[in-house]
Chain A
Amino acid sequence: MRNLLWIIVAIVFGANFGALSALWLGGMISGGPTIGNAVDIDGWRSDWSIGSENADPYVRARVARNGLMGLRKEEAVYFLKTRDEQGDRLSEDCVYAVSGRDYLANWWSITLYDADNRLPMNDDQRLSFDQTQAEAIYGQGAWRFQVSAAVPEDTDTPWVSSRAAGKFDLTLRLYQPSAALLNAPDTALTPPRIERVSCNGEAR
């Protein structure tokens, strides 16, 4: 009788442990992994198997949860970063200067998402910064924009709003990336820098 009890306990705990560990590693539980981490360039993380039939079950589950209907790498690659250059979590309490240059892709964009993988619930209509804006403001080459919860003091500064975003991430999309970028992302891609300017109104 006691042995039977132990077997039942083993089944119950085993099933729960197996299921919860799968949900955690599959990105289904808040705080778990987001998309894949196979490519990591200065903290911008991606996985070339997103959208592919060859994706392992962990990547496939994470994409289903955090990026449903993501495209395969020949059409688009996705990089996600949750921390600034100092290594601190991106937060709506802080102001950031994001800068970069052109990429080896047909079109790119950087979008801000909250911890629930949603566009933040604000009505600022400043949700992303993309190649068309960069070229319109800066022409070809280097670009820069601000991420903050309030309108920049210099109203000419391009701005992405983090109001109501809490802890957030920035997602870089590169559509129709070049073969060079896909083959050697470490050397072909210089990802955007996210410099923290201030937090709660005080310079850091």
Chain B
Amino acid sequence: MRFLIPGFIFVVTAIAAHIFVLTSVPSFIMGKAHQTFEAQGIPMNVWVASPRQTPETQRIVRPSPDLAYSICRFDTTNGPVFINAPLWSGYGSLSIFNAQTDNIFVANLEADSDFDGVYVGRPAADPQGHSVAFEGRGIALVRRLAPTEALYSEAAGLLSGATCAPMSPD
């Protein structure tokens, strides 16, 4: 009986700490990612091409050296954000991640895709249906298959045609 109450408290405290830590990890790491990108000079609402992924340039865990990455940090707190990126001759995708690291949206960017952008905000920012319900800060990521330096340069050059900006739907 002497250890019954301390034992019960141990179990309850352990469960509470376990749940708290476990559920805090994704948002903590995503927050650190935002901080890291910001420190590297990646502003909000601007597409930035990551350098070609090598041991020296890798910024995130497990990058694919065959892909050209572009990233945009955005925040829908003050209204929807319109996100778009040009299509690509090989494999390509545009994906959006929330603060919990969930991949809440992905679009095909290959040449035969009909993707022409998405409104990100709350609740349905675009009455046409090209929208994703979203609140707060997120990250958009473009992946393009670019295993050579020439293809990487070509992929990075597409950023001038990409959009990641606060905007009201038409």
CB within 8 Å of B: which residues of A?
3, 6-7, 9-11, 13-19, 21-23, 25-26, 28, 51-53, 55, 57-58, 60-61, 63-72, 74-75, 106-107, 109, 111, 113, 116-123, 125, 127-128, 130, 132-133, 171, 173, 175-176
Contact = CB atoms under 8 A, between A and B. Distances in A.
A133 B30 CA distance: 33
Interface residues of B, number: 52
B163 interface: no
Given A6-B6, A18-B16, A18-B18, A53 B104 contact: yes
A61 B7 CA distance: 28
B145 to A, nearest CB: 6
A69 B103 contact: yes
The secondary structure that dominates the A interface is mixed
Contact of B139 (A16, A28, A69, A75): A69
A58 B106 CA distance: 23
Contact of A128 (B26, B64, B106): B64
A71 B101 contact: no
Contacts, number: 169
Given A6-B3, A14-B10, A118-B55, A132 B17 contact: no
Nearest to A74: B106
B9 A7 contact: yes
A70 B17 contact: no
Given A60-B100, A68-B33, A74-B106, A17 B14 contact: yes
A63 to B, nearest CB: 6
